[in-house]
Structure 1
């Protein structure tokens, strides 16, 4: 294989017309990249705005229960006949009642304030 001539290896300066076209292409690229970057920042800003304005999906707390002004909440919690309340505990919108039943056994009743009904009964037993 023959070696290329040294003159062909050197880069020749561009013509004035070619240099003008090259300058226009560089400006065109810079403007388009700037617009693309600006559009990307707008999209990211919109996503951040939507994320901050999204409603929270936390469950309602006891303070979030809708109570008409001036009227207290009232509901009946029905326990078996002969049951005695040993203790109670409030968590959010639920009340747990530890009761001793008529036969001497114990059970825990869970009452939902918002639904106004007993949602669970758990017997306490020993092995």
Structure 2
């Protein structure tokens, strides 16, 4: 049969060693290239999925109230994520209050004591 032989009865002649090395290099290059393309496509799909997921609402625009004891004034406030640290002063001394911003709840109260004679 001629060049259109599809039944595989004719055996191909083996390639010379130089051509076989070149063929193996080309196959290796093809495998590496396909692997890199698969990783790239997976990365793009991952970014697309990440961007389409709903965002966390965070604290929102709700209003929370905090009641400071009578006679106590707020000296300073520091924020950290969903908490605030309030430095307060009263006649009895100074205090630190750790407050949850979501609901205004006091998580911790720290009394600041001063050393005697200073």
Q: Flag whether TM exceeds 0.5 (same fold).
A: yes
Q: Kindly report the root-mean-square deviation, in angstroms, between the aligned alpha carbons of the 2 structures.
A: 3.4
Scaled by the length of structure 2, what TM-score is found?
0.55
Partner of 2:105: 117
| 8 Å CA contact 2:85, 2:98 repeated in 1 | yes
In structure 1, runs of 5+ residues without a counterpart are 1-16, 68-72
Number of residues paired by the alignment?
Answer: 97
| Residues 1:47 and 1:116: Cα distance change in structure 2 (over 3 Å) | farther
Contact 1:83 1:99 in 2 (8 A): no
Q: Distance in 2 between matches of 1:118 and 1:51?
A: 40
Give me the whole-angstrom Cα distance separating, in 2, the residues matched to 1:28 and 1:114: 66
Larger Rg: 1
* Structure with the higher helix share, 1 or 2: 1
Specify the alignment match of 2:64 in structure 1.
75
Gaps of at least 5 residues in structure 2 are 1-12
> Partner residue of 1:25?
20
Aligned partner of 2:96 in structure 1 is: 108
